[in-house]
Structure 1
Amino acid sequence: MSAPDPDGLLAEQLLRLTRRLHRSQKRQLESADIAITPAQSRLLRTVAHYDRPPRMADLAERLEVVPRAITSLVDGLEASGCVRRAPDPDNRRVIRIELTDAGRAVLRALRSARRAAAEDILAPLTAEERATLGGLLSTLVDGPHPGRC
């Protein structure tokens, strides 16, 4: 019989928790009649992060994907009215991606769904346990990353 693998078990638990969070968020969005893929929601959040509408190349770099993947995502979000392509005022050859009012509304719904999903999942924890978990997660997310420059 092999020895238990606590890190492997922890990794599996984190993956299961992430899937549960995504399923709960998806249910919240469906109840609000919003159909958006996880990749599209990530792109919307990324576009909103910029002070100035980003170029498609900026988005590809930030999301660490190939430019053609961004094109497909933007096409879908543009078709649903969440973003629009706009020429750069300083360089006509450059296209920037702008959030529309509909895109901002979807972002608000995404935040609300994420919050509701987290409340559902965290319900069994006390306020103190939530604070401890938040601190531990912050350490993992923001802590040193071995192997990165």
Structure 2
Amino acid sequence: MSSPESSSAPIGDLFMRLAKRIRIRAGRELAPLGLTPAQAHAMKVLAHAGEPLRMADLAARLEIVPRSATTVVDDLAARGLVRRSASAVDRRATLVEPTEEGRAEVRRIRAIRQGAGAAVFDRLGEADRAELLRLLRLLDRELAEQESVDRDGTGHPCTRGSAR
């Protein structure tokens, strides 16, 4: 019989609790920038896209409804962090991309988030941090591979056993 400590269940709970602590710390440190966590996430997604994103694609990547994405983009555009343009391919589509000021803000956001993580993980010794990083990368890689296998060709996760 396995002990509660050998079960994977408490690992997930503890991981979620630590992630929440990091998010709360990062949120407090993002506040002086005048950004909500949702706006910071949108900036990160836009900066890493490599090209302007359609509003619908941004909403999908943020996993929010398009109306909410519009509100986030409205706020970021008002601050000069993103710009909108019409799509040359589809006149109905609006493209969004970060401005140079927005890219600089993304660098500040990254530094804040990394600092929030460091505030938690720097409590570990160097060898423990390296091992934790190795394990998290391993899990991330394996899950990413599984997700790509589970996709049904439309870019959406398959629902096993469903009759699509």
Structure 1 length normalisation: TM-score?
0.83
Q: Unpaired segments of 5 or more residues in structure 2?
A: 152-164
Deviation of 1:129 after TM superposition, in Å, equals 0.9
Give percent identity, aligned residues only: 36
Any idea what the Cα deviations from partners look like across 1:84-118, whole Å, max 9, x if unmatched?
Answer: 21122444333110212231122111111012112
Matched residue SS, 1:143: helix
Aligned residue number for residue 18 of structure 2: 17
- Tell me, yes or no, if structure 1 residue 133 matches structure 2 residue 141: no
Runs of 4+ in 1 over 6 A off after TM superposition: none
- CA spacing shift, 1:63–1:28, aligned 2, 3 Å: closer
Which whole-Å CA distance do the structure 2 matches of 1:107 and 1:18 have between them? Answer: 20
Deviation of 1:59 after TM superposition, in Å, equals 1.2
Which whole-Å CA distance do the structure 2 matches of 1:28 and 1:64 have between them? Answer: 24
Matched residue SS, 1:52: coil
Aligned residue number for residue 118 of structure 1: 117
Which whole-Å CA distance do the structure 2 matches of 1:88 and 1:94 have between them? Answer: 6
- CA spacing shift, 1:69–1:27, aligned 2, 3 Å: closer
Query: CA RMSD for the aligned pairs?
Result: 2.2
Higher relative contact order (CA 8 A, sep 6+): 1
Aligned residue number for residue 70 of structure 1: 69
Which whole-Å CA distance do the structure 2 matches of 1:27 and 1:42 have between them? Answer: 15
